[in-house]
Structure 1
Amino acid sequence: MTKEIVTHTILKANGLRLEEVEDCVVQEIPLTVHYNREEIATLLCSPSQTEELTLGFLLNEGFIQTPNDVYELRQDPADHLVWVEGKPCLLQKELMSKRFVSACCGKSRASFCFANDVLMVKPLASTYSISLEEAYKYAGFLQNHLPLFQATGGVHSGGVGYQGEVVLTSYDIGRHNVFDKLNGSAFRSGIQLENHVIFFSGRVSSEILLKVAKMKVPILIARGAPTDMALSQATALNITVIGFAREQRLNIYTCPERVIV
């Protein structure tokens, strides 16, 4: 975790008293992604799991679909560059023009604005369910396993759970990046996410809900609040959304039949 943190000398105020102290600040880097020699996007992110972030981003944007679509992945860590050679994507230019992707706000688009969203997102047929105690366990993990957040206050975190066990985790300054990293990690590990749970430290916007839908995960547990558009999408896509999740309390907003007391 040390490479994720830098220290800055700051002035800390306590009432009318100022004190010079060393403060921990989370690191942020621009990661520029190339696919088949074309510059696709620059992602503002934390400098961890950058290969997983790249793969998850390409998955969620429709450039790749299976491990066989990726021929080679290489990085230049010093200059924060990554190159992926893969299966030719006929809609590459239409799917993505070169752009700068903000860590905190994503692409700020209306629901199903892009054609690839409509093509990639379908209602889920999963009947997977979890117990209420299992949901509380994942919420507790978020609350108790956030060392980088506790040190800096500057990151989101998330994980993938299965039958009460945490199988994948990620963290990043960008909430969208958390989901791309989880998706990329599952992709690399050969984990099919249809019967899994995602838990997340932030709020649930429509963009976050679309990430979950593209990953085909039927249950999302978040510490934050959902938006009305996210809940409308969740209902249409048959995704269970749980918000305001703490160790012994939570709100079930959509598809409650997947949570068993």
Structure 2
Amino acid sequence: MDPLFTTQILKYKGDESFTCNDTLVREIKLEIFINDEKVGALMATPVDEQALTIGYLMSENIIAKVSDIESIETKDDGMSVHIKAKIDKENLAKLNAEGVVISGCGRAHTANIDPEAIEASKISSDAKFSKDEILKQMSTFYTQCELYEKTGCVHTAKLFVDEKTFFIGEDIAQHNTIDKALGKACLAGVDLSQCFLMVSGRLSSEMVAKAVMHKIPVLVSRTAPTCLGVMIARKFDLTLCGFARENKINIYSGEFRIHG
């Protein structure tokens, strides 16, 4: 399914009005099946559905590693993803009990990421990055995001590995962008402990928790973190950077990974 849709609109510019075509982004309910059982659904943009599903299930600790996946297939014109995999049945049961559907920019919830009781170890990555490198990558962030460039309607995430290697996630739902970018990276066999992750939106508790669950050492945004987001980052030694724009950057935790 094409993630973009073109429709005719009436547009006002000053005192003049005219009809023109406008490009919109589609929104679908993506159903997830594991071992022939429907386990949930995500409201999402219909692009990178398999990466989204893998990133999401790994962030929920339902699938531990990519090698546990036997097969993955997109069906129903991109409306469902079917996975055969070795899974954690206890965490899957929690997901089923919640009956979770994650939606766009409203209240989001992931069943096994309780910000106050995250079952994860501290991030021990020895990776270090210069503030200049982070600001350089943030300055070109949006120019590499095709759906954002065409519609201005999606959130974006970018996992930076090196100058030639990075993974983009774009979606109507901010948390989905992380799952898409990290799902792609996991499929490519990338060592996430040596990367940093950039996101377009606020650094909420859920966004920070997803980075923690994937052991990403550095999370960066152009905007602000929440109080709970900072508390989680400090608890798990995640380097959390906000307001990264122009020549400025605020570091809320894990400052030892950033140098001048």
Q: Same fold (TM over 0.5)?
A: yes
CA offset digits 1:95-149 (Å, max 9, x no partner)? 433332212235347996389x633x22112221101111112211214323422
Superposition RMSD in Å = 2.4
Identity of aligned residues (%): 28
Q: Distance in 2 between matches of 1:165 and 1:248?
A: 23
Could you tell me which residue of structure 1 aligns to residue 47 of structure 2?
A: 48
Letter of the structure 2 residue corresponding to residue 100 of structure 1: V
Determine helix, strand or coil for the equivalent of 1:118: coil
Distance across 1 between alignment mates of 2:225 and 2:218:
14
Mapped to 2, the partners of 1:112 and 1:211 lie a distance apart of 8
Aligned in 2, Cα 1:259/1:114: closer, same or farther, shift over 3 Å? closer
Q: Which residue of 2 aligns with 1:107?
A: 108
User: Counterpart of 1:82 in structure 2: which amino acid?
Assistant: V
Q: Which amino acid aligns with 2:147?
A: L
- With the length of structure 1 as denominator, give the TM-score of the two structures: 0.90
1:254 aligned partner? 253
**Post-superposition offset of 1:88:** 4.3
Which residue number in structure 2 is paired with residue 159 of structure 1? 158
Q: Which runs of 5+ in 1 are unaligned?
A: none
Whether the aligned pair in 2 keeps the contact of 1:159 and 1:166 (CA below 8 Å) is no
Q: Secondary structure at the match of 1:58?
A: helix
Give secondary structure in 1 for the equivalent of 2:248: coil
Distance, in Å, in 2 between the alignment partners of 1:49 and 1:111 is: 23
Aligned counterpart, 1:136: 135
Where does structure 2 lack aligned partners over 5 or more consecutive residues?
A: none
**Contact 1:43–1:103 (8 Å) recurs in 2:** no
* 1:1-261 map, 5 Å: 3-78=2-77, 80-91=79-90, 92-97=92-97, 98-105=99-106, 107-108=108-109, 113=114, 118-119=118-119, 121-261=120-260
Q: How many residues align?
A: 258
Paired residue type of 1:118:
I
Task: Compute the displacement of 1:239 (Å).
Answer: 0.8
Deviation at 1:199, TM superposition (A): 0.9
So what's the TM-score if we normalise by structure 2?
A: 0.90
Structure 1 position 183, deviation (Å): 1.8
User: How far apart, in 2, do the equivalents of 1:174 and 1:222 lie?
Assistant: 16
SS of match in other structure, 1:18: strand
8 A contact 2:52–2:183 mirrored in 1: yes
Cα contact 2:201–2:222 (8 A) shared by 1: yes
Is the alpha carbon distance of 1:49 and 1:110 closer, same or farther for their aligned partners in structure 2, counting shifts above 3 Å? closer
Which amino acid letter does the alignment assign opposite residue 50 of structure 1? E
Q: Distance in 2 between matches of 1:148 and 1:14?
A: 24
* TM-superposition CA deviations, 1:189-227 (whole Å, max 9, x none): 111201210011111100000000011011011122111
Secondary structure in structure 1 of the residue aligned to 2:32:
strand
AA matched with 2:118? V
Preserved CA contact (<8 Å) 1:143 1:246: no
Q: Deviations over 1:148-179 (max 9, x none)?
A: 22321111111111355542222111111111
SS at 2:105's partner residue? Answer: coil
Cα distance change on mapping 1:19 and 1:178 into 2, 3 Å: same
Tell me how far apart the structure 2 counterparts of residues 74 and 146 of structure 1 sit (CA, whole Å).
25
